[in-house]
Structure 1
Amino acid sequence: MSLTVRTISTEEHLGHLALYPAAGPLQTPAWGRVKQGWEAESVGWFDAAGVQRDAALVLYRQAPGTRRSLAYVPEGPAVDWFLPHLVEGRLRPLLAHARARGAFAVRMGPPVAVRHWEAATVEAALADPAAGRARSLGEVPADWTDPRALALTERLRALGWRPVDDGVGQPSFVVRVGLAGREVQELRAGLGPYWKRGVEASEASGVRVGWGNESDLGDFHALYARDAARGRFAPRPVQYFRRMWDALNADGADGLRLYLAEYDGEAVAAALMTLSGATVRHAYSGPAVRHRELRPSCALHWRMLCDAHAMGADSYELGGVSDGLEEGAAGLARLRFKVGSGGRVEERLGEWEFPLGRVLHKALDAYLARR
């Protein structure tokens, strides 16, 4: 089937997403309003009869000193990646459209799971004190692998796409708790010892978790910024989160929620949760600085997980983790904490790029490295 790509309206884009519940918030038209400094475009794939088959959000960022742009499709396109001839039928028209728009490269992040490790498998690997402990998850046999994803990887390479792992895009490893067909009691029983004790300690000590509103974003950002200083990463400004709130909650939508854990009238932990499609996602955290012995972060995530279950979500995603397992590895504490939710670690296909102009592409690589 020969398809062409053209700009579509917000309504056409949303109509496709209604039929594709696997799409995340980064593929919604609203996300384009969050990303300041990027030009957003909703595009659709159309057959010869003019019938729309798919849709995607494309973000364009102009290279410094030029009129050319990087075209970025975050966590997308929102298509069925295992359809026959999809790579040729969907990606080639997308490249042609981006080239016509003046793009020198297209970057995308197919939301395709390659393999996963159950929580028990990861915890066993982390608990092994022997000198021969696996250095990364890749050295631990996976509990599930999708051969179709492996074949897709080879097909992308054969067509000239290259994998990108520069730390700029979306994470390749995420922790996901499956919710479909499970009772809350089963979810609680699946928590790791740290989480179980943490939820119990928070409940016994009087920590209360509830929804915040836009006026509470300042409290969230103060906790988030302290965590950034402790973790030595550059925090996003509070204005970024205000744009998220305005864009994802526009016109009465419930696309972004703020959760606050409070103790004795003080916000001691906070987190943002995005709601889009069948998966609810933890987006950003403001972990506890004071009263950490009360484990408010455990209570916070437990409430978010229960709310996701109550709204009928298929899964609750706790966000990205690193795959290093050695003591002292960056992100090891975060991995331990998130796996304590009982969720599996899922490895995705990662982000890929196709260069349309090699000189400018190298210049952008250097620019992103400086940032």
Structure 2
Amino acid sequence: MAFRVRTITASEHAVFNAARPAVSFLQTPAWAAVKSEWGSESLGWFDDLGRLVGAGLVLYRRLPGIKMSLAYLPGGPVIDWASDDLAGWLDPLVHHLKRSGAFAIRVGPTTATRTWSAATIKAAIADPGVTRLSDVPPDTVNDVATRASRRLRRLGWRPPKDGEEGFAAGQPRWVFQVPLAGKNEDQLLKGMNQLWRRNIRKAAKAGVVVTQGGVEDLPDFYRVYVETAERDHFIPRPFGYFPAMFEALRAEDKDRIRLYLAHHEGDLVAATIWIRVKEHAWYSYGASATAKRDVRGSNAVQWRMITDALAAGCAVYDLRGITDTVDGNDPHLGLIQFKVGTGGEAVEYLGEWDLPLNRLLYKAFDVYMSRRG
């Protein structure tokens, strides 16, 4: 089938997304307002009957001094990645973006290729001969994703670089998720490891109280977030990013984004940001105070977000990025150990694939972004 790709309105895009069980929050038209430093466009795929059958949010990032852009579709586009005719979906996208002045296209389908259970991950961590989860036989393999990967290669798309860490530029290829469908709170708690269950009970016994906050509480969140950044050695986003994100996402859906605050005896000990689109909820940002770590506010606030996601009808609670390391000497190991305690699973996505349209500019942009950090 021949598809036509053209610009659609934000409202058309939102209606299309609303008819799906879930799409990435990065593929909502509201996300364009969050990434206001990028140009943006909502695109629709139309079949021979004029029906809207696919959609994607494109973010445009220009090279300095050049009127050409990287066209980036984070977490998308939302098309039939299982199609036997993937070229029929992607070729009209390429044609449209070429006319829009793109020197390269980057797509990031949220199609799982492989998954590893908590038990498999624990066994890999305990094995001194294993350093990367990708070297361990997975618990599930998605044949649809395998076929899509082969087709993308044949069409000239460049796959994610081997060994690329989950926190490289762009969206993480490796994430950690807790499946919620068909489970109740008791089953979810039982699925956690003993340390997580003990810490949740300890937080409750210590009197940690988790509440939902509002935009007016973002300065408190930010104070602890900056403290976390200094302790864990990452660069924090500027404060203004967070009120802008709340305003943009809530304009599309009043319950799209939430702020959670964990207090102990009046002291803020942990704070998190939760995003939900239909049946998928994400742990987006987290912060914890250095003081009072022993009251386990981080476990308490995570448990509250998981149970709220369950109550909202979500099928997945997503703790987002990890790396695939299981090496005891790697500083990233602690992150996957923390997340694996929830009893969920590691998920490898297809990752972000690039199609260079102007190879010289594509190379220049790659160098520019690497120097930017």
TM over 0.5: yes
The aligned residue for residue 10 of structure 1 is: 10
Indicate the residue corresponding to 2:60 in structure 1: 60
Q: Tell me what 2:337 maps to.
A: 336
Give the conservation status (yes or no) of the 8 Å contact 1:324–1:330: no
Q: Equivalents in 1 of 2:143, 2:288: separation in Å?
A: 38
Q: Name the amino acid aligned to 1:122.
A: I
| Contact kept? 1:322, 1:330, Cα under 8 Å | no
SS at match of 1:174: strand
SS in 2 for 1:285: strand
**Residues 126-175 of structure 1: CA deviation (Å, up to 9, x unaligned):** 234xx42x110012111111122112111111110002346111111111
Counterpart in the other structure of 1:38 = 38
The one-letter code of the counterpart of 1:183 is: N
**How much has 1:306 moved relative to structure 2?**
0.2
1:142 matched to which residue of 2?
A: 138
8 Å contact from structure 1 (residues 175, 320) kept in 2: yes
- Give the Å deviation of 1:278: 1.2
Q: SS at 1:203's partner residue? A: helix
- Aligned residue for 1:193? 194
Across the aligned residues of Structure 1 and Structure 2, the Cα RMSD in angstroms comes to 1.2
Q: Distance in 1 between matches of 2:6 and 2:209?
A: 49
What is the CA deviation profile of residues 46-76 of structure 1, one whole-angstrom value per residue up to 9, with x for unaligned ones? 1233222111111001111100000000000
Say which SS state the counterpart of residue 258 (structure 1) adopts.
strand
Q: Give the letter aligned to residue 340 of structure 1.
A: G
Matched position secondary structure for 1:153: helix
CA contact (8 A) 1:24 1:277 kept: no
Match of 2:358 in 1: 357
Matches of 1:171 and 1:325, distance apart in 2: 17
Partners of 1:50 and 1:150 in 2: how far apart? 30
Structure 2: give runs of 5+ residues left out of the alignment: none
Aligned ranges for residues 279-358 of structure 1 at < 5 Å? 279-358=280-359
**Partner letter of residue 248 of structure 1?**
L
TM-score normalised according to structure 1 size: 0.96
Question: Bigger CA drift: 160-169 or 335-344?
Answer: 160-169
CA contact (8 A) 2:227 2:289 kept: no
> Counterpart amino acid of 1:200?
R
Aligned to 1:126: 125
Alignment map for 1:64-213 (pairs within 5 Å): 64-85=64-85, 87-128=86-127, 131-132=128-129, 134-165=130-161, 167-213=168-214
Task: Pick which of 23-32 and 46-55 moved more.
Answer: 46-55
Q: Give CA deviations for 1:205-236 in whole Å, capped at 9, x if unaligned.
A: 00001101101111111222222222222111
Identical amino acids, percent of aligned pairs: 44
Matched letter for residue 151 of structure 1: R
Q: CA deviation at 1:251?
A: 6.2
Q: Deviations over 1:297-343 (max 9, x none)?
A: 00010000000001110110111111111112131111000111111
Structure-2 residue corresponding to 1:238: 239
Deviation at 1:252, TM superposition (A): 5.9
Report the TM-score, using the length of structure 2 for normalisation. Answer: 0.96
Give 1:78 shift.
Answer: 1.2
What's the CA shift for 1:355?
A: 0.6
- In structure 2, relative to structure 1, the CA distance for the partners of 1:150 and 1:252 (3 Å cut) is closer
Give the match for residue 263 of structure 2: 262
